[in-house]
Structure 1
């Protein structure tokens, strides 16, 4: 029944706060816990086009992206009051009481809901999927420094003691071994295609690496080497678009062939790019939240490029200290060694077998045994 449903609150501003939320919801369902995801952009319908334009601008200029990360955003006044009211009314009628928030943009809505249903108990926790606060949460902290006093906070990593607290599961099956992998690298810029990844492609090609490259505009999917493959997410898809069953979708992925990409697949249980990643020797890209999740879950080393913001800088520090990743320049200085990548893979594989309870299982266990808070 709806009252028992865990509501997972995500945002499409960046896929690092979108895909992990869907993964948590899918994992909860496999554990027998009803879960629904809600995406923040449905509450700012008249700003959705602006979000898409911002994504394009950040893809085309990493400097623009870095600057935007430092500007606090208060979106509480941009929300459609009618949409917010309808959502709060539905939650109240259904008796919703359990929430997991990955994006700070939802905090204002959660605060209003708690006030609306008081004295009914509302159990809500904030899940941080980075080692530091990403922009949506730094913005909240800028305007409301004590926000965390009202909610339970969960960090899936603890950078201070270099520990994986509660990783996010992508697939239940074990990742491929090193010998089962293709001699390829996957090169991308995270969900928005940000960073310096495109500048590394010519050098990697010259060294003889076969590449799986994620393109973010169709004209980026041409001119590769004979063994290169290009992928892209359906350009018609948006994170707030639901499928025929009314569910939010993982980014539908297609391969670009002959200058066209017209067969886009959504697995339903996880993002299709994860399966591409799992077949490669390493990810070459910035250390975003989603990339770290894929790296650990697939035991695929991360060759780290320039981070986006302080939170990704902290991510890079943790991955390097745990032996899961290596800065690109350091890998270059070592002669682009495959043996180095294999040793990083081995550490990731071992960590996947020995790390603590994953977040969704941890949540489900607390839910069975006691109050979620």
Structure 2
């Protein structure tokens, strides 16, 4: 049985993703919610659950190094690929045997690092695989294993039919005039960026700056720092399959970053596919930082050409204009409305 992302799936479906970057993890969670609402039996598994302890430790070390050095990212991604050879054989075999015992045949994949494991499982049973692309281009985890087997179905999140599938859970967005005069700044799933100059620049704007998962010694009195609850994740292991629980400095209440984004005037971030999705679901404009990798270049080109985002340098030259952001919000809202009417 071959199926598309937007028709009924009746059999148990496994969503295979990764917590190495939230760009793979968060969209997978969103899809899981949709399937559950449709009463489709499903589960979500992380590739890191099969990694050895030494591989997880190395990965965490390189993630920390990458936060301040873009060049480390490509090196770290090569390391991640190498961890496929250090997947613990016992863990992998237990997983494959469990799938076989349950007769699981349907998979939706958000990380290419699962593909070699699915190849092994294919030797045991016939399977149906949707390969889900969060980015406009091939992300590194898929690029490593491209081209796919012909019997795998590729789905691109930002294609009209697929983005509609997600938009239907968010048919309404907050009116721009009712939003907080805030800008959310984050570095994507790895917290990547050099933030000193940017945060100094933004201190000249009229916005309150919500700084998410960024280490900074700069505080101009008009910003708030939000961090992931420290006991939720460590070395590729998470306690609950939930959206990363963010806590504002000095507060105790947790909420996902999405809640800050939907009430904000804009997001400043590198153009990861999951960030684009957040902006689409909330009609929040994206101020685009330097892309990391070819896939993010394609993401940036898409959002800029559609009129959904603006490069940070251009927005800065425009004196951090709120009217510029408001027009981008209108562009996203119009596109959303057109899709939801189709």
Q: TM-score, normalised by structure 2?
A: 0.89
Following the alignment from structure 1 to structure 2, what is the Cα–Cα distance between the partners of residues 264 and 66? 36
Alignment of 1:40-119 (within 5 A): 40-46=47-53, 47-69=55-77, 73-117=81-125
Task: Report whether the alignment pairs 1:23 with 2:30.
Answer: yes
Alignment of 1:59-208 (within 5 A): 59-69=67-77, 73-117=81-125, 121-141=126-146, 146-158=147-159, 164-167=160-163, 169=166, 171-172=169-170, 174-208=172-206
User: Pick from 4, 8, 29: which aligns with 2:15?
Assistant: 8
* SS at 2:258 equivalent: helix
Displacement of 1:180 in angstroms is 1.1
Following the alignment from structure 2 to structure 1, what is the Cα–Cα distance between the partners of residues 47 and 317? 43
Displacement of 1:103 in angstroms is 0.4
For residues 263-309 of structure 1, the C-alpha deviation after alignment (integer angstroms, 9 at most, x for no partner) is 3636xxxxx10010111111011101111011100110000010011
User: Pick from 292, 300, 314: which aligns with 2:284?
Assistant: 300
Structure 1 gaps of 5+ residues are 159-163, 267-271, 359-373
Distance 1:254 1:226, change over 3 A: same
Counterpart contact for 2:186–2:214, Cα < 8 Å: no
Counterpart contact for 2:131–2:155, Cα < 8 Å: yes
For residues 39-64 of structure 1, the C-alpha deviation after alignment (integer angstroms, 9 at most, x for no partner) is 00000032222221121111132232
Distance 1:86 1:66, change over 3 A: closer
Counterpart contact for 1:188–1:284, Cα < 8 Å: yes
Task: Report whether the alignment pairs 1:250 with 2:243.
Answer: yes
Structure 2 gaps of 5+ residues are 1-9
Tell me the residue number matched to 1:367.
Answer: none
Task: Report whether the alignment pairs 1:226 with 2:221.
Answer: yes
Alignment of 1:303-318 (within 5 A): 303-318=287-302
Task: Report whether the alignment pairs 1:32 with 2:54.
Answer: no
Displacement of 1:223 in angstroms is 4.3
Task: Report whether the alignment pairs 1:291 with 2:292.
Answer: no
Displacement of 1:165 in angstroms is 3.9
Displacement of 1:184 in angstroms is 1.1
Displacement of 1:80 in angstroms is 0.7
Q: TM-score, normalised by structure 1?
A: 0.82
Following the alignment from structure 2 to structure 1, what is the Cα–Cα distance between the partners of residues 232 and 269? 23
